[in-house]
Structure 1
């Protein structure tokens, strides 16, 4: 289940449906020929690096990767606007191509979050990419501010557990609202105390510039890239900054580039509710009735949380537990079991699912992905919604999603509202005039990055660049789940075969 939690709730959104079979008519909805300014040239001390590939260390609480994986570090500028200044080290992992005679190059992966550790995740997921590993070196990394790459830390385990117990994430009273806002401010202050030098520089644009240095030192003329969820936003940022260096690129489970943080929250209310309704229909339950049943459970938990050992299952943790099961259709039976238990007074199932999403192990130790996620998201987004603005969204969001709406509305104020540094932009720029074709994959039942975001991304990338591939199915991400999508992507990455715009898999 933890593997499903590589993305958080506020990572993407959806927009008004477009006609997926129509190719883009322009190079983007806002700036058809926008070209990013060239960043300052990097010094030879950075561009001349040669990674020292060594046996990888075991991740915390995990097993050391097999012998055919090697790890290295790469120095990058802390501030790309000052390339001769302070540096930080980016952690890399690589498994060399098996067919050396037909090797294409390196294939860089980002698995989302933002905040997922590619160094940890790629070896665990490598079986899914075995065919690609014949002709590509499989490479991933921890982006700046993540895990081994100067990972942002904002709270310790004790502080995280205390905040979980005291904070109502769907506040109903003035006192609960004040506590919710204070918790967000306290989290941001903790990030500033522990990682204050780094957090202004954790933007996606800076990570995209790091990627270009990775490409260079690996000896690739162009970047071949596979981005999933937030990784699609990173891939689009790279394409915008370095269109002439875009190689074979796949964006799967696509972040909508046309909206900001509040738009993402609004669209995710639609996406998660859509996925939940599909789950209810699969059980033969009328969605309106099923939603009423779940809302009644959440209302009871809001009034009186269920005791599970020495902990409490709150309505917020229950919502999180429900959400993680919607990332993959294969997890729906876990939701059925956990809901049935909770309705009988046993909250252990939903709490266990929430812990998987929140990266909490059975010993009460939390991972720091959520810290990195907030640091990256708030460095990117210039939105700083007030408490009043978040509260005003609740009625609208509840209409969109009776189960997830209030949680996502309030999350807009808890996310970046009291963040200690300014954000970079209202919404990301994805136009990439002059880039080669980029395969953009959207799944119709995706809860976290709804399908409409893929349509928008394909159009934003520009005519002849964004190529939409639609997957009629459930879950977050299509590669490895849909055999049709997997074959289409493999043909593109291995043979350069670009599908027709609007190709559909079912």
Structure 2
């Protein structure tokens, strides 16, 4: 099973195929200075980046068969597989960029990580670039597939059919037979990863990815790393700041991950976060929708109970299970713009007895494409998470915490609790109990928390800002819905972020936007 992911969700990032299927189916102080040092072959660590026209993103990256267009260039950056052996075996990082439109006022490169972990930036950045158009006037917009993701030595474990079959196993077991089946699926997954990705599994941790970021900074020709991290990208940005405080330029960490929590506490808070977001959706739907058109939590729970024993048919020939419905519901809570899909999916399931919409939403969360192939998202997410966290939980640990999780969320609690087994038996030891993000001496990093965020609950932003250190972590609060703040388009948030990234104006700590 997989935990709910830390991915920035907007309608722009929901795949075009998913959106089309839903629509046609009727389911509704200035820390750094300007430079102009990045040419077509800027150097760093002895490496020249050779930019050329981008091919279409691959299946592993989540591509749809279409190249991103003439505005985009791609390159490869070789980095050590093992940073403790810098002259040893190399892997290539896949890169993408669009160059600044106003070359006379160019600041440098702005590097994006969109979270996951497991998001392939080469495919994602062109999909959301219009949201960063103002920044793209004076920055080269750059993203990459982190190590273990997409075309950067992406982790692959099972085949597509095996992945489909495993998704049918009950991931929230009710009895010993189902517990044994869940453990067997987890064990088979671990063995598949060990068999097919053993070389890279020890080296896909966030510490290694942060060291890659510094090589990327140098290869781009920048003296400082200007960075925009969303969701898990905030953890990557915080770790980079800890390792290289003197190399931090203007940076934004949006939808902040709490650096103080272990996976069990993080899962519990995430269950609460999704429950809060679901409650906000239900209130909004009841207030704005026609009488009787909106679901209630009791009806949702009744649907999930029914699905536990009797999955719903779909037009794909697959069936919608209880766990897939829970994930499908969660997918829509990453953005208020996708709440309409939740209404459509629940009405379809409750009134028509089919699970097409909720299954499509589940597929989108897990990197399953309309043709039945999978991106690297799911195995990359597990591999990076397990390479980082040293905690390994048992069935007894889950059972002990189940009452607490159920109380936190009647809808999402059980799924979140059983997801603690995600790294059980993993063949690689984790690097830390918690990431160290202390960054004394670094330039200010804007840390943005959203009060309605389901995936990275708001309290984490305050703790991340505190851990970064006095004068380093600058907290900005957005009182809104969804995962992340900048892509919401809120004028106050955009003004604060753009003012810093473009003009070096650090907002007052504690700034609140609504």
Same fold (TM over 0.5): yes
SS of corresponding position for 1:224: strand
Which residue of structure 1 lines up, in the alignment, with residue 504 of structure 2?
496
Q: Work out which of the residue numbers 240, 247, 250 in structure 2 matches 1:248.
A: 250
Which residue of structure 1 lines up, in the alignment, with residue 22 of structure 2?
none
Aligned 8 A contact 2:100 2:141 in 1: yes
Shift of 1:62: 2.9
Q: Work out which of the residue numbers 189, 192, 206 in structure 2 matches 1:190.
A: 192
Which residue of structure 2 lines up, in the alignment, with residue 296 of structure 1?
302
SS of corresponding position for 1:138: strand
Shift of 1:353: 1.3
Structure 2: runs of 5 or more not aligned: 8-42, 59-63
Query: Matches of 1:396 and 1:305 in 2, distance apart?
Result: 27
Which residue of structure 2 lines up, in the alignment, with residue 24 of structure 1?
none
Which residue of structure 2 lines up, in the alignment, with residue 135 of structure 1?
138
Query: Matches of 1:290 and 1:381 in 2, distance apart?
Result: 37
Q: Work out which of the residue numbers 379, 393, 416 in structure 2 matches 1:371.
A: 379
SS of corresponding position for 2:479: strand
Q: Work out which of the residue numbers 469, 472, 485 in structure 2 matches 1:462.
A: 469
Residue pairs, 1:224-373, within 5 angstroms: 224-284=226-286, 290-309=296-315, 310-344=317-351, 345-373=353-381
Which residue of structure 2 lines up, in the alignment, with residue 66 of structure 1?
69
TM-score norm. by structure 2 comes to 0.88
Shift of 1:11: 4.1
Aligned 8 A contact 2:485 2:493 in 1: yes
Q: Work out which of the residue numbers 75, 80, 92 in structure 1 matches 2:78.
A: 75
- Give the paired residue count: 464
CA RMSD of aligned residues (A): 1.6
Q: Work out which of the residue numbers 36, 47, 50 in structure 2 matches 1:49.
A: 47
Aligned 8 A contact 2:3 2:419 in 1: no
Shift of 1:10: 4.9
Query: Matches of 1:391 and 1:186 in 2, distance apart?
Result: 22
Say whether residues 1:433 and 2:444 are aligned partners. Answer: no
Which residue of structure 2 lines up, in the alignment, with residue 385 of structure 1?
393
- When structure 1 is superposed on structure 2, of 345-354 and 289-298 the one drifting more is 289-298
Say whether residues 1:177 and 2:183 are aligned partners. Answer: no
Shift of 1:374: 0.5
Aligned 8 A contact 1:208 1:235 in 2: yes
Moved runs in structure 1, 4+ residues, more than 4 A? none
SS of corresponding position for 2:296: helix
Q: Work out which of the residue numbers 144, 154, 158 in structure 1 matches 2:157.
A: 154
- When structure 1 is superposed on structure 2, of 268-277 and 386-395 the one drifting more is 386-395
Query: Matches of 1:396 and 1:137 in 2, distance apart?
Result: 47
Q: Work out which of the residue numbers 153, 166, 172 in structure 2 matches 1:163.
A: 166
Aligned 8 A contact 1:260 1:427 in 2: yes
Aligned 8 A contact 1:11 1:264 in 2: no
Which residue of structure 1 lines up, in the alignment, with residue 12 of structure 2?
none
Shift of 1:291: 2.1
Say whether residues 1:9 and 2:4 are aligned partners. Answer: yes
Aligned 8 A contact 1:10 1:264 in 2: no
Shift of 1:350: 1.1
Query: Matches of 1:180 and 1:337 in 2, distance apart?
Result: 31
Aligned 8 A contact 2:227 2:251 in 1: yes
Q: List per-residue Cα deviations over 1:195-251 (Å, max 9, x = no partner).
A: 101000000000000000010111111100000001000000000000011000000
Shift of 1:115: 0.5
Q: Work out which of the residue numbers 480, 489, 498 in structure 1 matches 2:487.
A: 480
The answer to which structure, 1 or 2, has the higher relative contact order (CA under 8 A, 6+ apart) is 1
TM-score norm. by structure 1 comes to 0.90
